[in-house]
Amino acid sequence: SQQGEEDPQALSIQEGENATMNCSYKTSINNLQWYRQNSGRGLVHLILIRSNEREKHSGRLRVTLDTSKKSSSLLITASRAADTASYFCATVVANSGAGSYQLTFGKGTKLSVIP
């Protein structure tokens, strides 16, 4: 089952504008990660934010986490045409029975950046 829900499902913006994607989840997490996927194939890890962190930056990416609301947002500033891709949030939850951690992905936001 999928825990995360991204919003919006699709987003179209002009190059240079900022893009904001949101993610909500249901259970307690160890950390939350954002991934990017081009053309429905391999995913690329973008950024990880731990459950005790509220904000994290990496280049043009800014991620926030609100554990009280069980939500996160990804902001891409000064977007470029090359940012066109699908973006997924993934929560990391412990499977205590197996002693392991699972990544649970949402359905993703499809971002189109128009040159």
For another protein, which stretch binds (CB under 8 A), given 14-22, 55-63, 66-74, 101-109? 101-109
Question: Would you state the structure tokens that stand for residue 94, as one six-digit string?
Answer: 């412990």
Site for another protein contains 44 (CB under 8 A) = yes
User: What is the total count of residues that contact another protein (CB under 8 A)?
Assistant: 29
Of 38, 35, 1, 4, nearest in space to 107 by CA: 4
Residues 6+ apart with CB under 8 A from 16: 78, 79
In this structure, the number of other CB atoms found within 10 A of the CB of residue 59 comes to 9
Interaction pattern, residues 3-42, with another protein; x per rule: CB under 8 A: -x-------------------------xx---x----xxx
CB of 87 to another protein, least distance (A): 10
The beta strands (E) that lie in 16-84 are given as 19-24, 31-37, 43-50, 55-58, 61-66, 71-76
Residue from 11, 13, 61, 92 touching another protein (CB under 8 A): that is 92
Q: Return phi, psi of residue 45, to 5°.
A: -70, 135
Site for another protein contains 106 (CB under 8 A) = yes
CB of 85 to another protein, least distance (A): 13
Site for another protein contains 74 (CB under 8 A) = no
